[in-house]
Amino acid sequence: MFINFQEELNRELPVHKLDEEGKEKLKNPKDPIQFMWIGHATFLVQFDGLTVLADPVFLYRCSPVQIVGPYRYRPTPCEIKDLPKIDAVIVSHNHYDHLEHDAVQKLNNRFKDIKWYVPEGTGSWFQKYDCNNVKEMTWWKEDVVKIGGKEVKFCCVPAQHWSQRTPTDAMKSLWCGWVIKSKHTFYYSGDTGYCPVFKTIGEKYGPIDLSAIPIGCYAPRYFMKPQHINPEEAVKVHTEVGSKYSIAIHWGTFNGLGSHEHYLEPKKYLDEAVREAKVDNMNFGEFLTVEHGKITAIPIKSKKTLQRMVKIKVTILETPVYSIYHWNKRKHHKTPDNFITQDKELAEQVVQLNNKIKEINSTLNSHTPKFSNDLQVRSKYKNGAHRTETNRSYYNFQLYADGIHPTNLLARTWLKKIATQAQIDCW
């Protein structure tokens, strides 16, 4: 039983107890977007002056009674009394690991004007606890409110799951995910199996700055697959909604939820799935696990950098790498040193990329063809593939490997990796 391995748990899944410094951080957020994983599906997010709590559950057991049922092997980092002022609570469905009467009551007592965003059919349950401002919503419904003088849109989005709270109310209320749109966009998927809806969510509400996506509770697959995604599917959700930054939830907290996977497997499995996805998709962004109670800010690119990023393309050459290398030489395409020095940001990225290539070269043995650590950069480049571009001032990086034929899949994989590792936005 996990509970006997306190030392291992403290090492593998440390819980950062919310101290005075942390409370102050939550009270006066300095970063545009910050969050704290409270445990399992309970997630606190702060952005654009807004504080939202998702699926608040704080008791030891997520069960109708506190004597039996799934219990925590990792404690909560804080209690409701420690939280900053909560503007809104979003609830994904009424399962006990997502909705708890005690938390709802305590939140309602502390913050009378919380806005409760809940799935259709659960509104009357909240009214039982005297909650005001309960917005019961169905899939694809939106609600625009003013919070702190700013407009915020709460959007109820589909998920593939189910609901039940008592022996007789199975499927009688809805389950859902939530998109919250202010200046930035946050997506909370709720519990879900994998289905085609995520692409639609991405098209409708993307780009998404931060997502909270479940990765645990997936084994055995024959039983869990329709209701809970596994890390590999979570990675697909992240990609399909177009999330820049995703945080893994729904793992590492409760024992006895009915799934069989080892408690650390979701994390390892996610790391692997992310590593693989990054090779294929250079726009992957980040999908991370975080520690309980750790207040984390997500790195936001400044507007200037963002514009610059949009203009930079890394092309993995589709035509023979070898011949293009020579073609470039023949056409005496000058490495535009003067151009690079004019643009410091770009120059930095080129240096970064070249260093990466050097680093990779040093790890290859003498029988493996090496990559040239000379990066070709061309400005105002237009080719057939980009003819529709109206903006002529983007830059086209071409990575090439000296003497390697493009059918060499290993070489292509490495090239993609280089671009990914250099963290250059590319497509």
CB of 228 to Zn ion, least distance (A): 7
Task: Give the distance from CA 128 to its chain's centroid.
Answer: 34
CA distance 207 to 244: 7
- End-to-end Cα separation, the chain, in angstroms: 47
Contact 52, 145 (CB under 8 A): no
CB of 235 to Zn ion, least distance (A): 19
SS3 370: coil
CB of 56 to Zn ion, least distance (A): 13
CA distance 60 to 57: 9
Using the minimum distance from each CB to Zn ion, give the nearer residue, 22 or 70: 70
CB of 385 to Zn ion, least distance (A): 44
CB of 257 to Zn ion, least distance (A): 7
DSSP element (H, E) containing 143: strand 142-147
Using the minimum distance from each CB to Zn ion, give the nearer residue, 95 or 267: 95
CA distance 160 to 169: 18
Answer yes or no whether residue 261 interacts with Zn ion by CB under 5 A: no
CB of 95 to Zn ion, least distance (A): 5
Using the minimum distance from each CB to Zn ion, give the nearer residue, 97 or 261: 97
CB of 36 to Zn ion, least distance (A): 19
Using the minimum distance from each CB to Zn ion, give the nearer residue, 62 or 86: 62
CB of 168 to Zn ion, least distance (A): 20
Of 307-326, binders to Zn ion (CB under 5 A) are none
Question: 85-104 mask for Zn ion (x: CB under 5 A)?
Answer: ------------x-------
Using the minimum distance from each CB to Zn ion, give the nearer residue, 161 or 267: 161
Contact 33, 22 (CB under 8 A): no
Using the minimum distance from each CB to Zn ion, give the nearer residue, 192 or 243: 192
CA distance 285 to 296: 16
CB of 294 to Zn ion, least distance (A): 22
Question: 165-204 mask for Zn ion (x: CB under 5 A)?
Answer: --------------------------x-------------
Using the minimum distance from each CB to Zn ion, give the nearer residue, 25 or 93: 93
Using the minimum distance from each CB to Zn ion, give the nearer residue, 87 or 191: 191
Question: 354-393 mask for Zn ion (x: CB under 5 A)?
Answer: ----------------------------------------
Q: How many residues bind Zn ion (CB under 5 A)?
A: 2
CB of 118 to Zn ion, least distance (A): 16
Using the minimum distance from each CB to Zn ion, give the nearer residue, 48 or 97: 97
Question: What per-residue string of b and e applies to 221-250 under the rule 16 or more CB within 10 Å gives b?
Answer: eeebeebbbbbbbbbbbbbbbbbbbbbbbb
Using the minimum distance from each CB to Zn ion, give the nearer residue, 95 or 416: 95
Using the minimum distance from each CB to Zn ion, give the nearer residue, 97 or 265: 97
CB of 216 to Zn ion, least distance (A): 9
Position 229, amino acid: I
Q: Where does this chain bind Zn ion (CB under 5 A)?
A: 97, 191
